[in-house]
Amino acid sequence: MRLDGKVALITGGASGIGRETALLFAKEGARVLVVDRDEKNGRAVVGEIESAGGTARFAPADVSRAADCESMVAAAESAFGKLDVLFNNAGIMDSADDDAVKTEEEVWDRTMAINLKGVFFGCKYGIPALRRAGGGVILNTASFVAVLGAATPQLAYTASKGGVLALTRELAVVHARESIRVNALCPGPLRTEMLMKFLDTEEKKQRRLVHVPMGRFGEAREMAQAALYLASDESSYVTGASFLVDGGITSAYVTPL
């Protein structure tokens, strides 16, 4: 098993990418702390893992709150004795997010607090735990829009994910000689509840899909497979990467410098 003996903490673990990753990591031998504000569905994921013979616990947290992030890391170490993999995956896409003129300040602030500050808090409290374990892996969920920009305006979301990429690169450099690898997973358009709520008309869906060379939305389980590679020792020489799993969209539209 590719994560045998590892302990993984996954934020946003109750649904979407987080849920699929929690199930896969547990199947691959990791003990998993599922973290989410949604206790009902978070505990349901833990139940699925345990029913399949894996080991998991649930911890409630709002990642925009420093105290919650400190507590979730403490919960992982208390339950499992260490932390090897920190997956800062929790995020939102507010339906009121639009262009600079139409996006309200509260939408901007809330998006930044969860999508970007939440990653900062996860790293702030998670890195000392990884040091105590002798090293480890940080995965941060960014997005293809941080590289390409979105056809449907979502300025706060795009800016927050660009921040995640910058944060990831700097942390990767700073902590490389501590045996701590830091990478960003950059999904393309996914057929998840979060995106489908935002792309709430067929016109909006097609405005995305027309640009995707593979012609379809990705699946959360495909992102979980990418996360597994980045979390495992198979990617032992990979750090500071913006790992694009996007159906080819950025290859079609981004010109290398």
The two structure tokens encoding residue 167: 């944060």
Is residue 157 annotated as part of the catalytic site, yes or no?
yes
Selecting among 125, 157, 229, 253, the annotated active-site residue is 157
The two structure tokens encoding residue 169: 């690169």
SS (H, E, C) the chain: CCCCCCEEEEECCCCHHHHHHHHHHHHCCCEEEEEECCHHHHHHHHHHHHHCCCEEEEEECCCCCHHHHHHHHHHHHHHHCCCCEEEECCCCCCCCCCCCCCCCHHHHHHHHHHHCHHHHHHHHHHHHHHHHCCCEEEEEECCCHHHHCCCCCCHHHHHHHHHHHHHHHHHHHHHHHHCEEEEEEEECCECCHHHHHHCCCHHHHHHHHCCCCCCCCECHHHHHHHHHHHHCHHHCCCCCCEEEECCCHHHHHCCCC
User: Shortest CA distance to 97 belongs to which of 203, 19, 204, 185?
Assistant: 204
Alpha carbon 232 to its chain centroid, in Å, reads 16
Torsion of CA 69, 113, 47, 225, to 10 degrees: -100
Q: Which residues are catalytic?
A: 157
